[in-house]
Chains A and B, each alone.
Chain A
Amino acid sequence: MDFTFDDQQLAFRDAIRKFLVVEAAPEMLRGIWETTKTGRSAELRSKLADQGLTALSVPEAFGGIGLGATDWVMVQQELGYHGIPDSLVDTAFLAVWLLNQLPASVELKRAWLPRIAEGRARVAIGHPINPLVADAEAADLLLLWHDDEIHAVPPSQATLRINPSIDLSRRLYHVDWTPSAETRIGTAAIGAPLWQGLIDQAGLAVSAQLLGLAHRMLDLGVDYAAQRKQFGKPIGSMQAVKHHMADVAVKVEFAEPVVYRAADALDSGHALRAVHVSHARLAAGEAARLAARKSIQVHGAMGYTWEADLQMFMKRAWALDATWGDRKYHKRRIDQHILADAAPLGPQHTFI
């Protein structure tokens, strides 16, 4: 039993953190949104690939590093913390997972995994749990659900309609396309468990990003409260303001291990991984929503403006909180677990 990350994982996280501080500062994120049609920067993507992120979970046989969810989770947290406007997670974590699970005979796997690893391909995923497909226009390949089948569709064969989101960095598309024998790469029998499993993989990625976002909003609130003076002293010296921030710190502190446990459950194929992921979603979502609420309060009217950085992280959190399954969905999965006859509950069942 060891609930800590190893030195290599921590060093990797630190390297990514240093990289993002320099290469993805908030002013740069604003620049990308305001000047590009897709909201995505090829330059940033290529730098992320240089860090090894696009190759992280591609198997070594396909030119990747072959790591799992536990290696990803802190990276996803950092991507959330820095508000990275990129479909990196969808491509390098989710699409790679889905492609990996396909039978070895699927030609597409050999064609796309190495390109993803090198950072030369973006993949967007259309899952029935989400009403729209994120990043479809920037994608080189669309992996789409149709009656539990898996279809691979070139963007040129689809008609896209963008739907603006409260989060400027989210690019959501309605996708019109026609399923055919040529586009089908997995039957319903193969697809059904994979589409289901994808919810758990995505749930972890969303949870970890929400956790990072919560942490960022906490830091922004603390920084603002320490600098902003009213009545002749920093507002952060006032107990009411302190307590807002302390409440967020408590929520973050107790959401984090839940998210990490979910990562471990995915890697180990734990029987309760779906429950653990839903728990992570709810805990991280609660932390992020509270962080947004408290941080905007501490920012005062500044927090309600376009110019304060808080808005970018707040909007991302609101948007992510309901993607890949909303709160109702994840609560229901936990309900079904704890209310089942002979459910393994109580002190003897933390990990078993």
Chain B
Amino acid sequence: MRLAYTEKQKAFRAEVRAWMADHVPAAPLPSFDTEAGFAAHREWERTLNRNAFSAVTWPKHLGGRGLDLIEWLIFEEEYWAAGAPLRVNQNGVFLLAPTLMEYGTDEQKARFLPRMAAGDDIWAQGWSEPGAGSDMAAIRSKAVRDGDHYVINGQKTWSTRAVWADWLFGLFRTEPESQRHHGLTFVLLPLNLPGITIRPIQQLNGLPGFAEIFFDNVRVPVENRLGGEGEGWKICMATAGFERGLMLRSPARFQQTARQLVDLYRANRESADADPAIRDAVLKSWMDAEAYALATYRTASRLAKGGQIGAEASTNKIFWSELDLLMHETAMSILGARAELMAHAPDAGDIGHWLDGFLFAQAGPIYAGTNEIQRNIIAERMLGLPRA
């Protein structure tokens, strides 16, 4: 065990810090769930990519820097501490990309990854369906082989960022009679194909952050298949592991929120101190954000020595989603009657972002597989308890 950074790691941190100081937009970008905000965030992805900062762990020839996971954590720490924007392409960069690296052909990697890094293709996720949320084995949308194409019919829903995204990755049933997790195939497709209809769904904040996607005889070339036909489940499970685990929710983001929460508490000490439960919650928020970072460093170290991500990805998902809720509920308590103000309310000042975060935190225990499903996974795969 050596919990200290090397000189090389320190130098990289200094480089990222300096670059962020020069490039992070001075004012927060508008929400990427608006058309203008989406465009502004795409521009930020391009800016990042100009310094190969869009996806630092990718190989250099695909647009990355070939860095290891510890360096990625350092990058993320500087990224969030600098107040840099949310990544509009997180579905692509943090979910699809690791999956492509593992299961994609060289052609597919070269075709998709550099454009993803550059912000030219922003990706949405096409897994959930009206009858298949956490139970993805209930997927019914079909992709039927017709020569060198698949013909897709069906419907996806809760597809985050799909309103303005360029591409979709999703699971489709390629064997019409197949059941559950058999006969599913992982397909990549552009969202502007004929036969695709996208209907925005307003989220709690009133913005179209989700979409329903309808497929009516949409033709997709077979070369857009990721992995083998019928291997979709296996591949999708690997992606889900990335989603619950390391990449999507880097600890730095929660540490930054915890830091802001401590600041908020200090600034409102007189009113907040009247309720010892608030002080306790602030303390716990800070400790848990630290704990999440430490656990991630430990996992990164283990992976560096050849270890694999296992069921602990499910413990991660529960931990960060509950931490996010705790932090934002605590902030709401500290803000009292001001907590209800929307970010653009003229009297909100700089507190409105807490409400945005509070709303977003409500979704944490639901997306990426509900926390109830994660608890089942932990009980059955990590602890070995019998299935029902």
Contacts and interface: CB of A to CB of B under 8 A. Distances in A.
A153 interface: no
Given A264-B1, A334-B287, A350-B293, A237 B76 contact: no
A226 B283 CA distance: 36
A347 B16 CA distance: 13
A260 B298 contact: yes
Contacts of B312: 253
A255 B382 CA distance: 17
Given A268-B3, A350-B294, 11 more contacts: A1-B3, A3-B294, A226-B384, A246-B376, A254-B291, A257-B294, A260-B1, A279-B291, A283-B287, A343-B262, A348-B17
B258 interface: yes
Interface in B1-57: 1-6, 9, 13, 17
A70 interface: yes
Interface of A: 1-6, 70, 218, 222, 225-226, 233-234, 236-239, 241-243, 245-247, 249-250, 253-258, 260-261, 263-265, 268, 279, 282-283, 331, 334-335, 338-339, 343, 345-348, 350-352
Contacts of A236: 379, 385-386
A243 B297 contact: no
B386 A4 contact: no
5 contacts: A237-B387, A238-B388, A253-B312, A257-B297, A258-B287
Given A1-B6, A2-B301, A346 B379 contact: no
Contacts of B151: none
Nearest to B385: A236
A346 B3 contact: no
B108 interface: no
A226 B386 contact: yes
A159 B9 CA distance: 57
Contacts of B262: 338-339, 343, 345
A245 B383 contact: yes
A234 B386 contact: yes
B1 A347 contact: no
Q: 8 tightest A-B contacts by CB?
A: A242-B379, A346-B259, A347-B252, A246-B375, A257-B294, A347-B77, A3-B301, A246-B378
A254 B319 contact: yes
Contacts of A265: 3
Contacts of B199: none
B300 interface: yes
Contacts of A347: 76-78, 80-81, 251-253, 255-256, 259, 293
A239 B301 contact: no
A236 B387 CA distance: 8
Nearest to A225: B385
Interface size class of B (residues with CB under 8 A): 35 or more
Interface in B276-323: 279-280, 282-283, 286-288, 290-295, 297-298, 300-302, 304-305, 312, 315, 318-319
B383 A222 contact: yes
Nearest to B292: A254
Contacts of A241: 385
Contacts of A247: 375
A168 B378 CA distance: 34
A236 to B, nearest CB: 4
B255 A335 contact: no
Interface in B330-388: 372, 374-376, 378-380, 382-388
Contacts of A282: 287
B238 interface: no
Nearest to B380: A242
A261 B256 contact: no
A121 B76 CA distance: 51
A283 B76 CA distance: 25
B297 A3 contact: yes
B300 A338 contact: no
B3 A264 contact: yes
A237 B379 CA distance: 9
B111 interface: no
B283 A346 contact: no
B4 A351 contact: yes
